[in-house]
Structure 1
């Protein structure tokens, strides 16, 4: 299932999610594509106001250009890649790290160990997303590119439902990692501009994802 174009505009936003498509304020995503404000993205490509992107680069009328994951956009949209890594995941002695990559040489890039004593890959993925949101400009739209379907769902669809039922599972148990999920959704809610999520395939040659993965693996060894 594709998660491209998942959008978060704050608590109680209009629109909804149904049958693999997402709608919010006139936007639509189905079968991996997203349309909003005249733009369309499908299977990793995006077009808006004459701009087009694929795996190699991006260009729009504002003069922005991205190649191999290094992104510049005069329109102000921020793109960031996040990843989490964990050795001995779920076992004693596990060590996790987070990676946040905005671009080559960007001062906002992050590589560090996961905080706390409970280290898992899922917690590292969520913590990396939270770190990216904290480091972004809250007045400009942000797109988080991640290979974690769990993390994206937890921050969007599942998180919205959990908020409504007190972070309980369908069986009545407590939702795992809710401290990080609550933190992330609070961070998104406090922003003046929306956060969207784009799912990317891990270890598939995506330059930005590879850089975030490298930073996460460095972080777990610190």
Structure 2
């Protein structure tokens, strides 16, 4: 059972078919164990669809939902994800990039800056935490179960879009 009943808890995942190619199809899932009516599964419909953009878009969807449900920003947001990129970006790198004018340690521009700026804008004044969950473990604890659901829903959305079902 989820021990974070006072927090705004969500599970995020992104999926991409043919990642890195011009014909990439990507989708994300943002799932809310405490209120499944808020669940959001979307296909990315922009020119730059990638797995990373899908992961960041899922986090943005969570933060937007939190802004609507808790406009006073009194509840912390805890996002569980199997994306080490998302966790490391939000917990370690983003503050460095802000200080360095959105440049990486190598001096290049930060990829997906637009989505990261949107996340920061929507999250202003709110405590947000990102927690890594190992993927595809087969374990039954709540965090693994919900992570698997997010993974399946994101992959299914990308496949269905790719197969013309949307």
* TM bin (shorter chain): 0.7 to 0.9
Instruction: Structure 2 unaligned segments of length 5 or more: list them.
Output: 139-143, 162-166
Q: 1:199 corresponds to which residue?
A: 132
Number of paired residues? 150
Q: CA–CA distance in 2 between the matches of 1:85 and 1:113? A: 9
**Shift in alpha-carbon separation, 1:115–1:184, aligned structure 2, 3 A:** farther
Of the two structures, which has the highest relative contact order with CA contacts closer than 8 Å and spacing of 6 or more?
Answer: 2
Regions of 4+ moved over 3 Å: none
Q: CA–CA distance in 1 between the matches of 2:32 and 2:109? A: 34
Structure with higher helix content: 2
RMSD: 1.8
Larger radius of gyration: 1
Q: CA–CA distance in 2 between the matches of 1:129 and 1:58? A: 19
SS in 2 for 1:125: helix
**Shift in alpha-carbon separation, 1:203–1:186, aligned structure 2, 3 A:** same
Q: 1:219 corresponds to which residue?
A: 157
Normalising to structure 1: TM-score of the pair? Answer: 0.63
Q: CA–CA distance in 1 between the matches of 2:101 and 2:44? A: 26
Deviation at 1:58, TM superposition (A): 4.5
Normalising to structure 2: TM-score of the pair? Answer: 0.82
Q: Which residue of 31, 48, 61 maps to 1:118?
A: 48
Matched, 1:171 2:106: yes
Instruction: Tell me if structure 2 keeps the 8 A contact 1:126–1:181.
Output: yes
